């Protein structure tokens, strides 16, 4: 992926989703490490327009517009 996408591409990691102890994390393709992912991790790679932003309680949300320019 790194050969084809920018290092600042947003990546969402969801581990054990739907189970007790589920976690969500955001990172970038450039900062992603192999030890952050295992067989119970869903990896979502954002598009060139995907953005992340902080919400009031310190968490981050990820948003991808439905259009391209």
- Report residue 36's pLDDT band, with 50, 70 and 90 as the boundaries: very high
pLDDT given at position 66: 86
Q: Specify the pLDDT at position 2.
A: 86
Provide φ and ψ at 65, rounded to 5°: -60, 155
- Per-residue pLDDT, 31: 97
Residue 69 has pLDDT above 90, yes or no: no
Give yes or no for residue 58 having a pLDDT over 90.
no
Is 11 exposed, middle or buried, given 0-12, 13-18 or 19+ CB atoms closer than 10 A? Answer: buried
Q: Report the distance separating Cα 5 and Cα 21, nearest Å.
A: 31
Q: Would you give the distance in Å from CA 26 to the centre of its chain?
A: 4
The residue with greater pLDDT, 68 or 44, is 44
Residue identified by tokens 């391209």 is 68
Residue 24, pLDDT above cutoff 80: yes
If we measure between CA atoms, which residue out of 5, 6, 25 comes closest to residue 14? 25
């Amino acid at each position: 992926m790194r050969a084809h996408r920018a290092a600042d591409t947003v990546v969402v990691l969801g581990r054990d989703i739907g189970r007790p102890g589920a976690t969500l994390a955001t990172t970038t393709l450039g900062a992603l490490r192999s030890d952050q992912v295992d067989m119970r991790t869903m990896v979502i790679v954002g598009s060139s327009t995907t953005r992340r932003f902080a919400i009031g309680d310190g968490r981050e949300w990820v948003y991808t517009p439905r259009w391209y320019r």
